[in-house]
Amino acid sequence: MNSPIIPASLDPIGLTRQLCEIESTTYHEGRVGDFLADFLSNRGWQVEKTPVPQPLESATAGDRWNVYAGIPGETPDLVFSTHMDTVPPYIPFSEDSHFMYGRGVSDAKGIIAAQVAASTTLREAGIRVGMLFVSGEERDSAGAKAANVAPKGSRFLINGEPTGNRLALASKGALRAVFKTSGKMAHSAYPELGDSAVHKLVEVLGRLLTLPMPELEDVGPSTLNIGQIHGGHAPNVIADSAEAQVLVRLVGDSAPIRAALVEACGNQAEVDFTLEIPFVRLRAVEGLPTMIAKFTTDIPQLSNWGEPLLLGPGSIHVAHTPYEKLAKRELLDAVELYIQVAKKLLS
């Protein structure tokens, strides 16, 4: 692929480095939002910083924002968007001649840099573009939900996630559930005097792992992950409470999955559904390679920002791991891809 024409003052690799050197795990996006707002404002963009509320459990984490950048006086035809937050733990940035490493290089700070570079080039070509960078995608899409009440009138939204520079034809949804059990505390030498909440939870989770999951031929199956388990006080104490966090990746309607999870509880547990993001199908663009995203994105929460597409550099296989990396060549290719897709959509 030919190298994109990028303004000399805007180096996507250098911008990725600057972004990744700012720790911004979910709930702590304030500093990176401030940096981006200043960076874009100094380059002629009209910038808006919109507060994103903190949930009660992170109320002391400080301010955080969505950052929108547009061309002064113009309604955008197309908006690029991705998220500023990363999963924990923070991993410092490093690089060699071919790759960048560290938390956020692929998910999604390299994508931010590619979108800024592409938007700058498109603006100079007279195309009306904007950029929306949100908080909270890795947890509950809080930033996207806040942004969706104040859209800018764009016809298209290109959302960035690590798709290996291939357009996603579909993105799985997500259903998060919390299972809770209760019992009676007792000395473990006399289990007949107690009622173990942990034992109940283990039985419920065992049933969950045997549930048949729906499947779509061109997408694949729904999948279930038991991600966290908490309970009890000590090995020699009968547990009086326990809970588990479960996430199902959806390929269709959540109703039958919800019913199956409730049925698996029997009379041993209660289940609370804390998050749902629907499965979505997305459009292709002629001549570009495609993929299926088995992960979930902010796209369903940005429905008022135009017809969505999903595209970005990097591999989801190394995102959320200690081995997160992004090839510098792939980042530069993404700039050209974003420019190419925007021009095709708006031609």
Cα–Cα dist 2/221, whole Å: 37
Smallest CA-to-CA distance from 257 within 174, 200, 178, 172 is with 174
257-266: list long-range contacts, CB under 8 Å, 24+ apart.
Answer: 257/175, 257/213, 257/214, 257/222, 258/175, 260/211, 261/177, 261/208, 261/211, 264/204, 264/207, 264/208, 264/211, 265/179, 265/204, 266/204, 266/207
Residue 137 among the catalytic residues = yes
Pairing status of strand 156-159 against strand 307-310: parallel
Q: Residue 46 — φ and ψ, nearest 5°? A: -85, 115
Amino acid at 342: A
Smallest CA-to-CA distance from 108 within 129, 138, 130 is with 138
Of the residues 21, 29, 48, 137, only one is catalytic, namely 137
Active site residues: 137
